[in-house]
Homo-oligomer: A and B are copies of this chain.
Amino acid sequence: MPVELEDYIKEKAALVEEALRGYLDFAAGAPERLAAAMRYACLNGGKRIRPVLMLSVMEILNGYVSQILPAACALELVHSYSLAHDDLPCMDDADLRRGRPACHKQFDEAAALLAGDTLQAYAYEVLIRGCDKAGVEPRRILKLSKELSRASGIYGMAGGQMTDLSGAALALPDLQKMHERKTGALLKYAVLAPLYVAETAKPQRQALNQYAEAVGLAFQIKDDILDVEGTAESLGKTPGKDLDQQKNTYVTLLGLDKARELLRQEMSKAYEAAEFFGARNRLLDIARYLLERKN
């Protein structure tokens, strides 16, 4: 990744990190162990790719970053709760998360469950309180909140997870629907949330919609391809795990060649949409970074 982009991402991620730390610094009297489990689950060295994307879109729309930062934090709180719950024994039963013990290993299952529940509840308080303080109009804050609820609910992340868990073999349209929900919905929220706050014209909205859908889809295909063609060294995990577990992936369904072809198509759509905002811009950089990565 070009150094300049790296700096840009680092700077934006640091902004989000600082805001999250502030929000998770509870007053005396809050149950300490719960607060600690929430911080552990959220302040975990995550790349903050969704919030960074959100702030970048806000900048491209010439909106105030301070007015979207609370939504970026709320989104990350929701993402963090989902990881803490995903790692639980009844779900993925993962002992490690980013090289550290998963939340339920560091604390215990009940604490990880409650920490996740509380992170989700807190997302709405952070969004509403933060946006109100930043002067966002009430009607716009409601839109941000409602769309976060939808993106993480039955038609979004949680619905996609349920379909994924079922383990049934999926046809291509169902596989796409599953991924659109499971990982696509929050990515899409990251790209579209700034539209709910900043003034925008229709062509901008169309470009961002196309960008959000193409990036979301391509991101998942790329993930599936990397699982097959990546080396253990570059991935930092064992490649071929999806194949072994007979998971529904673009590669198992389409084969590697067709999956690559579909990835190329979606990348073109994403880049085309990004270029609406200029021949070189951050959205284009970030799409390239996400879709041309090696791990």
Contact = CB atoms under 8 A, between A and B. Distances in A.
Interface stretch (A3-11, A32-40, A229-237, A265-273): A32-40
A128 B125 CA distance: 14
Given A129-B146, A138-B138, A138-B139, A121 B34 contact: no
Contact of A114 (B31, B38, B158): B158
A117 interface: yes
Interface stretch (A43-51, A147-155, A201-209): A147-155
B158 A34 contact: yes
A113 B88 contact: yes
A118 interface: yes
Contacts of A279: none
A257 B159 CA distance: 51
A95 interface: no
Given A31-B162, A142-B142, A153-B121, A109 B128 contact: no
A31 B90 contact: no
Copies of this chain assembled into the complex: 2
Contact of A35 (B123, B149, B154): B154
Contact of A165 (B110, B122, B129, B154): B110
A283 B111 CA distance: 37
Interface string A136-147: 011101100110
A132 B142 contact: yes
A261 to B, nearest CB: 27
B125 A153 contact: yes
Contacts of A139: 138
B121 A166 contact: no
B122 A120 contact: no
Nearest to A146: B128
Contacts of A129: 146
Given A33-B162, A145-B128, A155-B30, A113 B113 contact: yes
Which 3 A-B pairs rank lowest in CB-CB distance, beginning with the nearest? A90-B109, A138-B138, A125-B149
14 contacts: A30-B154, A31-B159, A34-B158, A85-B117, A111-B162, A111-B165, A118-B153, A118-B159, A120-B120, A121-B158, A122-B154, A123-B149, A125-B146, A138-B139
Given A34-B154, A117-B117, 11 more contacts: A31-B159, A34-B158, A34-B159, A90-B113, A111-B162, A113-B113, A114-B158, A120-B120, A124-B146, A124-B149, A128-B149
